[in-house]
Structure 1
């Protein structure tokens, strides 16, 4: 019966799953956790939270997985009050806070905009692994706290924990949103030299975003040219946006050509090019776009 319930929950058939759940007479922690996680995955935080409280009233003690599932659902809808209550439940239950549980709390508080509470949750344990370190780094990145992210990464490396590709992505993102060009460039280069992390398209995209935000368009173009793989649309779009802001028409034309070559119907590129035209750079768009493209731009503007 638990397996049947798990199947319905993972397939998102929660009405069918709840019918199976309702037929249980002796629901154990697996039964409750399965139905709760099913509703949580569907983003139904109210129902997941309601079942969690019902589970506790029935005398079945939730495990860490049940708490984490509901916390993640609360984070997705930024339900601060419910998430705080779950945090209280975790403490009252006497469950040991491990790195995974703390990471979930950090992510929850960060998404709700309470970075101080996220840091308090992070500091509540001593033995951190790469998951908990990265969760706090990503939280700082989302809030544009580049300096704090760099300081935390220094402590992480001093502790002997090796960073992974998500950790580096979080630091680069933090530097990008904080305008810390030199620091971001240093982190990217040192990781490349020491081969500590295998660079992915996401790392390069973040570095291109950092360079374009700082107005270093030629450096961003050079990085795109030197990529060990084919640049994707998002990379060229980042360059295109910055070219328009900085008024670099020639480079904007070059970036737009690559975007429309990869995705001929890319609506974002059309809109950006129409903005170029509005700013008196119609020559760029005329060179790049065909008659059918202009029709698409006009339709988007009318919409």
Structure 2
């Protein structure tokens, strides 16, 4: 319970206070760490569990592979994968095979992920989606689309996760036609209304492909929107050099009662820089500073530096920008 609620220290405390523990309780803790993105902690717990003489089961292995994937611990992941293979668990348990594919994909070892997938006695939409996701995250859009085609050729129907990854792949390589086709498929199945992830992915895809009006249209047609979808649109505007449009979208987002996050602020600063909106940029910079985001997040700080440099270029090194740059 504590692990699933994110109270990992409390979960560990309960485990230590127990008169006895077993692989199930340790696996629950390791799973909680992995789900919270605490890969290092998950691996430490795994080591402690083994030091107590407990042998991992398929659930434990899956959680440890997930932990390796989230922190890019390829060497440890390979070691665990070998242990699993030696015990013959890959043939018996499809979820472990899926997690192995996901681990290699997240670690950037796409060829190895594909190899594991091909060697499996059977595969499903989850394992293929993990591979497609890895390709998309690594910016390998063409490879992602090829894997998607192979998956469909095997008679497997994509789910919302698959579609989301494919839309991301289309966006990263500017494959507008394919992206539109996927968007139509999703809409025909009524998935946009059911899954916010797909809706955001569609907005992001159109924005990255330069189809800002279409991205805005998708956003307006949605039954609800959030800061993530608006940030995707604002980001697209900024990337296309449409600073005025980005600021208008930012204003609309705020009028809807949505609070910007660090990604939104980064995009807005970029927009201010590209059109020389010094006053607005200073206002955003102050908001970020007041919220302490400059210390907590890398992106706003980086974009503030980029913004100052853009202002310097735009105003040809005027004194006001010099003063701002030194505050």
TM-score by length of 1: 0.78
Q: Is 1:73 aligned to residue 67 of structure 2?
A: yes
1:111 aligns with 2:111: no
Gap regions ≥5 residues in structure 2 = 295-303, 305-323
CA RMSD between the two structures: 3.2
**1:218 paired residue number:** 213
Residues 37 and 78 (structure 1 numbering): CA distance in 2 closer, same or farther, change over 3 Å? Answer: farther
2:255 is equivalent to residue 257 of structure 1: no
Of 261, 266, 271, the residue aligned with 2:260 is 266
Is the 8 Å Cα contact of residues 134 and 167 (structure 1) preserved in structure 2? yes
Write the deviation string for residues 148-201 of structure 1: whole angstroms up to 9, x where unpaired.
Answer: 2222222322333222111111111122222222211111113433x2745532
Question: Residues 1-303 of structure 1 correspond to what in structure 2 (within 5 A)?
Answer: 12=8, 13=10, 14-20=12-18, 23-24=19-20, 31-42=22-33, 43=38, 44-51=41-48, 53-54=50-51, 58=53, 61-97=55-91, 98-193=93-188, 195=189, 197=191, 199=193, 200-225=195-220, 227-263=221-257, 266=260, 268=262, 269=264, 272-282=267-277, 296=287
Q: Report if the CA contact (8 A) 2:89-2:96 is conserved.
A: no
Change (3 A) 1:274 1:109: closer
Counterparts of 2:75 and 2:265, CA distance in 1: 43
CA distance in 2, matches of 1:198, 1:247: 28
User: What TM-score, normalized by structure 2, do the two folds share?
Assistant: 0.73
Measured in 1, the distance between the counterparts of 2:228 and 2:268 equals 15
Secondary structure, aligned partner of 1:123: helix
The 3-state SS of whatever aligns with 2:157 is coil
C-alpha distance in structure 2 between counterparts of 1:87 and 1:170, whole Å: 25
For the residues of structure 1 that align with 2:131 and 2:240, how far apart are their CA atoms?
34
8 Å Cα contact 1:8/1:17 also seen in 2: no
Q: Contact 1:9–1:17 (CA<8 Å) still a contact in 2?
A: no
Cα separation, 2, equivalents of 1:223 and 1:217: 10
Q: Equivalents in 2 of 1:105, 1:266: separation in Å?
A: 36
Partner deviation per Cα, 1:242-290 (whole Å, 9 max, x = no partner): 323433354234312112213465365556545544444539x76xx9x
Which sections of structure 1, spanning at least 5 residues, go unmatched?
Answer: 1-6
Structure number with greater Rg is 1
Structure 1 residues 157 and 198, CA gap change in structure 2 (3 angstroms)? farther
Change (3 A) 1:242 1:159: closer
Does the CA contact (< 8 Å) of 1:99 and 1:127 recur in 2?
yes
Deviation of the 1:232 alpha carbon: 2.2
Distance in 2 (alpha carbons) for counterparts of 1:9 and 1:176: 36
- Residues 210 and 228 of structure 1: CA distance in aligned 2, closer, same or farther (over 3 Å): closer
Deviation at 1:46, TM superposition (A): 3.4
Conservation of the 8 A alpha-carbon contact between 2:244 and 2:271: no
User: Structure 1 residues 239 and 281, CA, compared in 2 at 3 Å: closer, same or farther?
Assistant: farther
Query: Matched residue of 1:131: which SS?
Result: helix
Equivalent-residue separation in structure 1 for 2:154 and 2:261 (angstroms): 47
**Cα distance in 1, alignment partners of residues 288 and 59 from structure 2:** 49
